[in-house]
Amino acid sequence: MIRDQPQPHLLPRKLQKMNEPTADTAAEAHRKARIAVLSWERTDADIADPAHQARIADLTRHAGALIAATAFVAPGAEVFTDRLVLGERSWIAAHAIVRGDVAFGDDCTINAYACISGQVRCGNGVRIASHVSIVGFNHGFEDPDRPIHEQGLTSVGIEIGDDVWIGANAVILDGVNVGHGAVIAAGAVVTRDVPALAIVAGVPAKVVRRRGGERRTTPSRRSEAERALTALDARVKADWRQVLTRNRIEGGYLSREADGIARPSARHLCDALEIATGFGALEEALLTVGEIASRNTTISRLQDLQDPASGLFPDPSRPPKAGVPLRNDGLALYNVLAVGYALEVLGAAPRHRVSVPDSKLQQ
């Protein structure tokens, strides 16, 4: 009867349910994906897994590999070597690239996205972080008349001793020997041999201290700048009065300018006023009437410099050349700032507006 016949439209759903992963199989798939990247979590069962053993056999056949029984090569590791030695308990994580003639001792770890290429020899216990590049070859490039890609490759090789830690994004170039127990800081570019137990950092990498020795911190650029400014501040505080006294003359200040000639200038008076104000001692820079400092005399002297028509401040000690418009005189333009600031610290202002176009003042 019809009701006893199979119902074809229901069969695909039944088959689908048969193929749905159970919670246990989903968890195991997640764990395997995890250890591919976090390969330090591998177990003996993962090493003995048929899929892993097949991977090892394939590398032995096609990549010249000699892999210890307790070593682990994650699925997704890109291994294309002519020769590979991987010692006991060592592992290569997914997404790492290993190519060339490479040997790792026991307990070595190559994290995801590290790239080891060319001729590289590592001792025991070498820790290689993500995005490290160890490049045991170089391109020929000395002949400027030939394209670099036609000049071939050279290879001296890289030797890395036991118990070395290489931080993320570090680069080690061909020909380098790294001594045992060394630490390569993150981002370092190693172009020269690294002594045993040394900690190196920077571009190019330099020794910053030795493991087990007295810690020596490398000051930041900010701290170096702050220290330099503090020293300058102390020197200026100690010397500024002497500088003003040495350059003071009757009615103003005399100082050497950029051409090496000492001459009086309105700018020198303005500078003296600003310097003294910076140290809370404005009165010490004022012009004097007799022996009495006079703010009003100083203000009047500066205001009298201004040309009423243009608002500029030509300097009596260096007047504009004959036939040169005042707006083209650099000193008259500069003194708008110099005299303007000085009058401001004196609590005053120019008598006239500046009528020169802004574009000229910005030149």
Three-state SS for 166? strand
Catalytic residue among 30, 131, 139, 268: 139
The DSSP line for 193-241 is -B-TTEEEETTTTEEEEETTS---PPPPHHHHHHHHHHHHHHHHHHHHH
Asked if residues 36 and 93 have their Cβ atoms less than 8 Å apart, the reply is yes
Distance CA 6, CA 18 (A): 18
Q: Are 63 and 85 in contact (CB under 8 A)?
A: no
- Active-site residue flag, 9: no
Q: Give the separation between CA 117 and CA 66, rounded to whole angstroms.
A: 17
Residues β-bridged to residue 97: 78, 115
Neighbour-count burial of 269, counting CB atoms closer than 10 A to its CB (0-12 exposed, 13-18 middle, 19+ buried): buried
Residues comprising the chain, all counted: 363
Residue 248 gets which letter from DSSP? E
CB count within 10 Å of CB 193 equals 13
Cα separation, 122 vs 132, whole angstroms: 14
What residues are annotated to the active site? 139
